[in-house]
Amino acid sequence: MQDTNNDPLTRLVASHKEVNRGRLADVLAQYVTVDPEHQSVEFRPNVKAQLGKKGSTLVMLLGQKALTLLTQGQDVDEGLAPKELSTRTGILGNTLRPLLRTLVGDGVAVRRPDGRYVVPNHALDAVERAIHEERERS
């Protein structure tokens, strides 16, 4: 039987249950503020224009993940419905819904059975790259 404590391959395992809180904070710090007391995520000034629609959507989904982690034990859902995302990002639903389908197809978001969207923990690196690429285009 293989001892997994010394197995270098364990560095390749992406957890579906755990999120790297430090990496999440590093990715989000320049884009949003999170207010656990009021259970809100807000874009920093002038950030949405730099991020574009795809980047704004991904950042808001990650921001909601951070809010959920900061408010553990409270009734905060990690997932966001398209209508909530539309309100928070300012992206109209007829633009947002096809974008969400693309994000799911790209593997950087997941649509839950309840219709809410989340960024899976293992996709943090891919999301960071997508945000960076979107910033370069905007």
- The model's confidence at residue 9, banded by pLDDT at 50, 70 and 90, is confident
pLDDT digits (tens, 9 = 90+) for 32-43: 999 999 999 999
Instruction: Give domain 19-137's CATH number out of 1.10.10.10, 1.10.3130.10, 3.40.50.970, 3.90.180.10.
Output: 1.10.10.10
Residue 14 has pLDDT above 70, yes or no: no
* Whole-structure pTM value: 0.87
Torsion angle defined by CA atoms of residues 60, 61, 67 and 73, in that order, rounded to the nearest 10 degrees: 150
pLDDT attached to residue 98: 98
pLDDT digits (tens, 9 = 90+) for 83-92: 999 999 999 9
